[in-house]
Amino acid sequence: MIPLDQAVVARLESYGERFEVLVDPNLAMRIRQGEDVDLEEVVAADSIFSNAAHAERASEEALLKVFKTTEFEEAALRIIRKGEIHLTSEQRRHLIAEKRNRVVTFIARNAVNPQSGFPHPPQRIELAMEEARVSIDPFKSVEEQVKEVVKALRPLLPIRFEEIRIAVKIPADYAARAYEITTAGSLEREEWQKDGSWIAVVKIPAGIQEEFYDLVNKVSKGNAETRIVERMS
């Protein structure tokens, strides 16, 4: 559990009843985004309140009326997922900054400038977001907001989401570490050669192409062969 002085109120109003749970705002956000988080770490008290400020607990009748149960976990999760999370100004600023960084990182890793084939640097994306006056919602997932952000950026930046299939051949001397390169993308095909070398096709986000080549070179000490098989937008 988190300390009471670090908790905020998650509130759900339904059928004329009000329910509140005291939660860690960051962990509550992760639950809202579908992550599996231990509820015990999220809440500051194992109680459903009708008014948390006055420590007034919700009645069993009200819980049964709305949630069809008096079980704390089931009701609390519904309040967190469906209700409003009331943040302080500082907490809201922090969550927005964190979510903004994640949106920028996602775009930088998964999109490219179609004119050059290279990703836009994060700083360029951030500046374009400022120029376009993009607003970030701390309660929406990164995936939801990326579409809106990219739509706002397109008049300012040529941008296209793209994946690349890359064929890789790693000599026998380094093939024992070959699977390390699959951490950067998804392995679509592999084949072990008679000479002990490893051949594979790996699909990666276009924005991490240089990062992928660096990893291949690290694994093979610069002795691997690579070839772009296909670009997919």
- Nearest residue to 85 via CA among 133, 134, 31: 31
Instruction: Calculate the alpha carbon distances from 62 to 59, 70, 87 in Å.
Output: 5, 9, 25
* CA separation for the pair 61, 178 (Å, rounded): 60
Write out the H or E segment, with its range, that includes residue 86.
Answer: strand 84-86
pLDDT digits (tens, 9 = 90+) for 133-159: 999 988 788 888 898 999 999 999 999
If you ran DSSP here, which 8-state letter would residue 174 be given? G
At 97 the pLDDT is 92
Write out the H or E segment, with its range, that includes residue 146.
Answer: helix 142-153
* CA separation for the pair 114, 127 (Å, rounded): 19
Q: How many CA atoms lie within 13 A of 6 on its CB side?
A: 12
At 221 the pLDDT is 93
Q: Which fold has domain 162-232?
A: Alpha-Beta Plaits (3.30.70)
In the block, tokens 């490893």 appear at 198
DSSP for 136-187, written as a single string: --TTS-HHHHHHHHHHHHTTTS--EE-EEEEEEEE-GGGGGGGGGGGGGSEE
CB-based burial label for 179 (10 Å; 0-12, 13-18, 19+)? middle
Q: In the chain, what are the domain boundaries?
A: 4-86, 89-160, 162-232
Domains 89-160 and 162-232 share a fold: no
* CA separation for the pair 4, 164 (Å, rounded): 48
At 87 the pLDDT is 80
Q: pTM for the full model?
A: 0.64
At 217 the pLDDT is 93
Q: Which fold has domain 89-160?
A: Arc Repressor Mutant, subunit A (1.10.10)
Low-confidence stretches of the chain (pLDDT < 70) are none
Q: Give the count of beta carbons closer than 10 Å to the beta carbon of residue 88.
A: 10
**Domain 4-86: CATH superfamily, name plus number:** Ribosome maturation protein SBDS, N-terminal domain (3.30.1250.10)
* CA separation for the pair 122, 109 (Å, rounded): 9
- Nearest residue to 39 via CA among 61, 60, 10, 69: 10
- Percentage of the chain with pLDDT > 90? 63
